[in-house]
Structure 1
Amino acid sequence: MHAGFVNGSGLLLTLFAPLIILSNTLWILFIIGGITAILAQFQKLIQVNVKHKLACSTIAQMGFMIMQCGLGFFNAAVAHLILHGFYKAYLFLSSGEQISQSSPQESPRLKITVLQALAVAIFGVLGAFLFSYLTGKTSMTDSSIFLTLIVAITVGQATYNIVKEQSLAYIEKIGVSALLFSIGISVYAVLFNGITHLMSEMPMIQAPQTLDTLQVVFGIIFLIGFFIMKLGVYRKSPWLYVKLLNLSQPYKKTIHYYKK
């Protein structure tokens, strides 16, 4: 999966960037990548097997990478590919700690106070502005706004994980959140700018697309899906829960199905 879909697809799409852009097929990559990312993230939440969680995580990251290609930022896709390698290596090495014999328990419900929600929103916006400043992605009229939006969501999610930590005082939570998102975004910006510089002689590695109705509508759907996922709305719909669980199962009519 990693060699064929994640690594291979990202590099091949980048090599064929001029052909994809000139053929006006970026929107296909954008839709396919976005749908893949959303469905895989949903399916990851309902898995109980650590291997299934890792597989769904990889599929989701592949979807994000293809979506970045669909936005016209092939350099961002390559930067994402490199960072994903480190991130997934950490997940594989630490997955053993997640395996334990335990009894099924009710999933914890999302509880967030007004102050915590305000902190999440403020740090998400500040993270987006810092990313825009360091990378030059400041336009509100082209597809670069989606990259900024993804950064804001990531920072907001990381901030939420910090502010709900009971062992830290309120001031410590603010300080840790500010320190982590500043360092994280700065490192990402350095890598992003470095990859852009290394790929500068390749044609059309960065071709922001003008925002159109399709991108705006899908961006709204993406946000709605994210909040449904974070707020646990899918748990209140048995049909949706079972549908997502079934979608994550292997196709039954494989070679093993016919082995007899």
Structure 2
Amino acid sequence: MARLLSSAMWSAFGLFLLVLAFRAGAEPLAFGPFRLDSLALFLGAAVTLVSAVVHHFALRHMQGDAAYESFFRRLSGLTALVLLLLAADSVLLFAGLWVAMGWLLADAIGHVRSWPQAQAAAALARLWFLRGAAALVVGLLLLAAATGSLSIAGIVAAAGAANPLLVGLGCAALGLAAAIQCGLFPFQRWLLSSMTAPTPVSAFMHAGLVNAGGILVARFAPAFEAAPLVLLLVFAAGAASALFGQVAALVQSDVKRGLAASTTAQMGFMLMQCGLGFHAAAMTHLVLHGLYKASLFLGAGSGLAAARRPGSTGTPGAAAIGPALFAALLGGAGFALASGKLGADTGALLVLFAALAAAQASLATSAAAPLVRWAAAPLLLGLGGVLYGALIRGAEALLAGTPGLVAPQPLTALHWLAAGAFLAAWIAVQAGLHRRSAALYVRVLGLSQPAAAAITDRRETAHA
């Protein structure tokens, strides 16, 4: 059964790619309460790819587990629920699938029934998923009341002309549901406690299921754009989580927990892009992060060996500043030109983040020869900016028929404040200020700890 389900996932991935190749940009296919559009096909291909890889990995990783077959049925069931959720057009069906997905995911987190810590983590996740589902249901009902439609397509088409108060409240509730599902600050505790899950579950969860929050916002993008204040709040929540998650990842000693903190940061960045009005860019980030994070979780055991190797923990010297600034210039410019984010709108923030990423990557070559630091690395990072910008431009073209996925917003004081906070945080980390404050270390470490009931110090009880 396990091998059959694994083969089915690979076949589903091939089918999604084939349909996407012929149906990209075409009119959505509607059948009953489902509506298959370019966004559903694009994300369906990503979900089935990650699921197929995780299934294949788990064939050996889970050997000897007493619940081997039920594990694969649960994993395949989660995949099927996500695929149905992507295509659901009825708000009632969407809400039902959302609840079922959360319930089955919590069950997967508690896979080892005899491990009290796993059951505690599952109970915490289930509690937060139910709270998120309640927020989702409230949001959907408000939007349905405002637009007079029980279909997602009808809601997004009528949101712009509907009662702005009801639309705003509905989108705020959906934003709360998205934040909980993504494990954003201050809802990160369930995500950090879920490391009791078997490694394949962690890989699929962090690569796909937590992304459902971003998918939710993107699916209702026109409604969020009709409530600009809520969209600004989504941006602020994403920015706060991106900053917190990145700092939290620096203080972790547990490999999987460090990856979980990184997921909080990356989910924050994804929702930031939604808040900036670039939902197609957020979906590109979702797919790329999903593939990357799945590989990191599946290789977490190798990460233990790498963590034992001696390495430099010092701060970059003054000689690294010039090449980093040069790399930032080339990386940001390459991204701006390739993505077309050249206007005086929220696209400028995407360019800033691309420049910061290039500068950070440049610091990894600070010990290399001058030719590498000043020429080879900046040029490669500039090409990386071009590639990332081209991927976003390609995703925007691929998803062009989906309403509201590219809607740049005007820059506000909050956007500039967030940009300043990211720059200041990056400079502070490079200067090593985060290592000099015991109070900051203790505070961040405390906020990034799992629930006490989900922690074990007995190695013989661990089954993940």
What TM-score comes out, normalization by structure 2 length?
0.50
Match in the other structure for 1:23: 227
Gap runs ≥5 in structure 1: none
Greater per-residue helix proportion: 2
Q: Over aligned residue pairs, what C-alpha RMSD do you find? A: 2.4
Q: Does 1:151 align with 2:351?
A: no
Aligned residues: percent identity?
35
**5+ long unaligned stretches in structure 2:** 1-204, 457-464
**Distance in 2 (alpha carbons) for counterparts of 1:91 and 1:49:** 13
Residue among 29, 33, 40 paired with 2:245: 40
Which of 241, 244, 256 aligns to 1:51? It is: 256
Of 266, 269, 279, the residue aligned with 1:64 is 269
Measure, in 1, the Cα distance between the counterparts of 2:451 and 2:240: 19
How many Å separate the matches in 2 of 1:211 and 1:101?
42
Give the letter aligned to residue 92 of structure 1: F
Mark the CA change 1:5 to 1:101 in structure 2 (over 3 Å): closer, same or farther. closer
Contact kept in structure 1, 2:241 and 2:265, CA below 8 Å:
yes
Q: CA 1:28 to 1:151, structure 2 compared with 1: closer, same or farther past 3 Å?
A: same
For 2:291 and 2:309, locate their aligned partners in 1 and report how far apart those are by CA, in whole Å. 31
Question: Contact 1:29/1:69 (CA < 8 Å) preserved in 2?
Answer: yes
Aligned residues: 249
2:429 to 213, 226, 229: 229
Q: Cα deviations across residues 71-113 of structure 1 (Å, max 9, x unaligned)?
A: 1100110010111122213322443233149889997220312
Hey, what does 2:330 align to over in structure 1? 126
Report 1:1-260 matches (<5 A).
Answer: 1-2=205-206, 3-6=208-211, 8-24=212-228, 25-100=230-305, 108-114=313-319, 116-139=320-343, 141-162=344-365, 164-165=366-367, 168-252=368-452
Runs (4+) off by over 4 Å: 101-107
Change beyond 3 A, Cα 1:105–1:192:
closer
Structure 2 residue matching 1:201: 3-state secondary structure: coil
Contact 1:38–1:226, Cα closer than 8 Å, also in 2: no
Q: State the SS of the aligned residue for 2:410.
A: coil
The 1:102–1:126 alpha-carbon spacing in structure 2 relative to 1, beyond 3 Å, is closer
Secondary structure of the corresponding residue to residue 425 of structure 2: helix
Distance 1:223 1:154 in 2: 11
| Higher relative contact order structure (alpha carbons within 8 Å, sequence separation ≥ 6) | 1
- Deviation for aligned residue 1:178: 3.4
Other-structure match for 2:201:
none
How far is 1:226 from its partner?
Answer: 2.3
> Are residues 104 and 84 of structure 1, via their aligned partners in 2, closer, same or farther at CA, if it must alter by over 3 Å?
closer
How far apart in 2 are the matches of 1:222 and 1:102? 27
- Please give the secondary structure, in 2, of the residue aligned with 1:99: helix
Decide which structure has the larger Cα Rg and report it.
Answer: 2
